[in-house]
C-alpha cells in the first residue's frame, strides 16, 4: 500500500504536470471512487479554474485552485498519478483532469480503491510524519498502553506511516514493536523519530520506496540484516509485523 513517500512522489508529479494549468474538463464518471459525488459534480466545480498548488499531508493529496475549490485525492492500495494522453483500458483512469493545453493527468487504479472528492479531507489526521517536531512526536506517539507499532500506524496520532515504514523505523531504532508506546523514554522516542525520518528520506530517493529499505528486503528471507538471527512475526495493530528478537529491545532504556 502506498505510504507517505509514495504520496509525496505523487504530489511532485501533480506539481510538475498540473500547477499553473487551466482545467478544461474533469472526467469523473466513476461514482465509487468519486463518492459521494455524482458524475459531473467535480467537473462543474473545477472546470475553468487554474491549479495553483499540489499539496500533501500524510498519505492524502489535494490540488488547490484559483476558484477556491480543492480536489482531494488518495491513492488507495495501488493508485498512481500519471500523464495519460490516452485513456486507460477497462476504466482504470478513475478520474482525470484535461487541461486547456490538451494535456491529461489521471488517477489510475486497477483495483478501484482510490478516492477523489472535493475538499482536502485531512481534518481527522495528526501531524505529518515527515515534518513533526521532536516535542510533538513525544506527545503524540509516546503515550498510552497500545503497542508502539500500532501507535505509529494510528493516522490520528501521526499521519503518513504505514506497515513497512513502521517496521523499518522500529528496526533501525532497535525498539520491540510490542512495547507499550508509553514505556519508551524521551531518548528512545527521539531516536525513533530520527529513524523514521531516515527511512522516509531513503524511500523518497529516485529508486527508493517504502518496501525497499534494508529491513523490508531482509524480511523476505526472515533473517536479521544486522545479527543474522531468525526474525519473529506477529499481528500487531491489525498488520503483519516483523522484528529481530535479539536486536530490538523489549525493555525501556534510560
C-alpha cell belonging to residue 60:
492524502
Q: Which of 202, 239, 247, 252 is catalytic?
A: 239
CA distance 133 to 127: 9
Q: Which residues pair with 54 in a beta bridge?
A: 63
134 is catalytic: no
**Is 188 within 8 Å of 201 (Cβ atoms)?**
no
Q: Which of 9, 11, 56, 59 is catalytic?
A: 59
Query: Residue 223 region, left (φ>0) first, then alpha (ψ -120 to 50), else beta?
Result: beta
- Other CB atoms within a 10 A radius of the CB of residue 217 amount to 12
41 is catalytic: no
239 is catalytic: yes
- Looking up cell 481527522 gives 124
Pairing verdict, β 115-118 and 70-74: antiparallel
225 is catalytic: no
**Is 147 within 8 Å of 181 (Cβ atoms)?**
yes
| Contact residues for 123 (Cβ-Cβ < 8 A; gap 6+) | none
Q: Dump the DSSP string for 22-73.
A: BEEEEE---TTTTTTPPTTHHHHHHTTPBEEEEEEETTEEEEEETTS-EEEE
- Point out the residues that are catalytic: 2-3, 59, 239
Amino acid at each position: 500500500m502506498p505510504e507517505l513517500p509514495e504520496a509525496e512522489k505523487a504530489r511532485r508529479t501533480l506539481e510538475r504536470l498540473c500547477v499553473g494549468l487551466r482545467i478544461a474538463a474533469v472526467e469523473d464518471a466513476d461514482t465509487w471512487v468519486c463518492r459521494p459525488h455524482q458524475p459531473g459534480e467535480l467537473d462543474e466545480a473545477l472546470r475553468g479554474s487554474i491549479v495553483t498548488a499540489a499539496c500533501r499531508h500524510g498519505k492524502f493529496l489535494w490540488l488547490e485552485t484559483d476558484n477556491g475549490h480543492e480536489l482531494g485525492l488518495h491513492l488507495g492500495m495501488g493508485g498512481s498519478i500519471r500523464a495519460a494522453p490516452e485513456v486507460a483500458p477497462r476504466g482504470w483512469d478513475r478520474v482525470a483532469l484535461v487541461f486547456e493545453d490538451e494535456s491529461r493527468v489521471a488517477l489510475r487504479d486497477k483495483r478501484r480503491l482510490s478516492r477523489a472528492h472535493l475538499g482536502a479531507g485531512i481534518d481527522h489526521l495528526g501531524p505529518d510524519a515527515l515534518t513533526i517536531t521532536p516535542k510533538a512526536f513525544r506527545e503524540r506517539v509516546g503515550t498510552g498502553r497500545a503497542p508502539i507499532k500500532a501507535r505509529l500506524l494510528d493516522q490520528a496520532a501521526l499521519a503518513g506511516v504505514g506497515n513497512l515504514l513502521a517496521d523499518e523505523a522500529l528496526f533501525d531504532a532497535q525498539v520491540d514493536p510490542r512495547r507499550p508506546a508509553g514505556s519508551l523514554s524521551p531518548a528512545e522516542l527521539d531516536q525513533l523519530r530520527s529513524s523514521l525520518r531516515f527511512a522516509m528520506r531513503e524511500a523518497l530517493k529516485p529508486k527508493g520506496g517504502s518496501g525497499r529499505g534494508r529491513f523490508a528486503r531482509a524480511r523476505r528471507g526472515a533473517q536479521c540484516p544486522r545479527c543474522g538471527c531468525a526474525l519473529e512475526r506477529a499481528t500487531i495493530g491489525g498488520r503483519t509485523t516483523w522484528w529481530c528478537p535479539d536486536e530490538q529491545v523489549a525493555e525501556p532504556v534510560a
